[in-house]
Chains A and B, each alone.
Chain A
């Protein structure tokens, strides 16, 4: 870090809001310690910090709850952590408009609690809501089981305020639920992993809290049959809010006993609608070898967002495939790992084809070679069906052998041009994302 930058940062945000030295331990990612962590208290201070870093050509790592800090290509230079924890206010919530405007550092749990008090919720349920912040969830495009019915951040974010890589405050979208004025900038910052700008404020679409909700589990002897049941549910009149498919290992990690696989389906709405749909599910699944449906406690929901990973997880890969291919990928992927002597657990938001696989070891240590070979084979399985895979979590030795991000194809060149236009000095999370971005 250039001389004097630390002093300027302290003068900008106050000495108490700049951490250095041993205080940086929460910000150590994959063995790298940042030069400093800075806590701006306002959008203006964020802009000032970014301007200073840009002037010094020092990398910045925007930081929310840190729940996905290790996702991505390991950074060459650690740089300065820009922690948005102090920007944690719910700025506006007008129930009649079904919208809320929040600061990026507000945690999902705090937001949901405030909204629920007025009968509404943000229909986005990623893992780790107590720690994950709105800004981080948007930057990581994190989601959970209810995305089956309610979509992801791209369906809910209607306006965004960002600080650009040059320290300029810019707005995109607006505060109304329908808006086609100008380019759809909110889409650009979702899932961009903080490489195009620092999200400081977001306006989100809300929904009314449903009268009733229930999560039911149907056990199957074979994953194949559970997969057939997913297709039957998709082709039926049911309107589930979640369709989750778990292999035996993932079910066990969740504490659900299932002989071969478990199909978990969520329903919400009026009580009579939930009741009717649960009965209809039992009929559909029963015809395909499913056991009697049983209700699971509400605490199960957040654990589904985390992919039902068991203890000793060493590597995690997430896939996006066609929904009808999810069960097959889970079976073939598990076989490929087993052939290398590796234990896996597989869970899927099956109705949208988002699959998550965990490689585990009882000792917590694995040889990088076979792990990398299995991960590479998994990715090929997904790609063969037109899908893609992201290596979400892995030891550095494995990341050295398997690319974190899947190949974006010819679109990668457009992404590089977007990055160059928006961050010409390459200071925002440099090298962390796809295509060298």
Chain B
């Protein structure tokens, strides 16, 4: 006997279950697309860097096409397959590309380190600059410029001193903090104190410096990428290859630490240890970058905020996004600074702030309740 009622009832039940199932899977689908959008943003940033590199290399007195740029890069990476010789090769490979690589590495390193420091210190104003690491490096340069004293002589006198004092500064902050239990508040206060101390010591040296010595200190303090060459590329690459994965390993712990130490401890995180570890690794990377580039304050502070506004606070995505945005900002600002005026090159540090601040203010004013992307 056909049982229409039963059939109808089953249909109704199925529909109800289907509706519930569909709504459940729609939330999951929303989440998948949310993660997909973050990945897509990172992918777009990588593509943008590749395109920017080719475009920026072509800017300058010597006319080179984008196609030539790629041909020269490929000829150097795969000699034998792409044979290109002459003046354009020298200009692209020995002058323009190293500067762009420096911009990418320094910008991404500053972005990542700023992101780590803001997370472990739970403070949106934390950056290598506000914590005094740049001030330490600046003092190292002052010692080298005025007294001529340095750990390494010759062309690396400034760089060596900047690195040594940047690391010294980080160690003092970490040591001071470890006495009081390495809380974020102690680290920030110690950082600010060190910033003032090394800042005033640099001022003292500046006060007694000759015009020539003063020029060296001022040039370094404004930030510039010209100290970078293929010789020190390997050193930076090795440090990147070590420090960035070490920091990325803590991405989940940094997510948790952002909700407070008590919460993090209850979820099994040794907050003080993670804080010391992250600060130490980030300091090593940032000291290596700052000693070559000088003080470029803007990137470490703002690149993580720009990335956070775009794709949220999950450090698994925030790390690469901060690095990529830092790289794009620094590379673009340097290119503008190099080519804006015909006879004068505007220092990178100045251009970075001048171009980055309006964009950052736009993001703040246009910010939606959720992230942009």
Are A and B part of the same complex?
no
List the interface of chain A (C-beta within 8 A of B).
none
B interface residues, Cβ below 8 angstroms from A: none
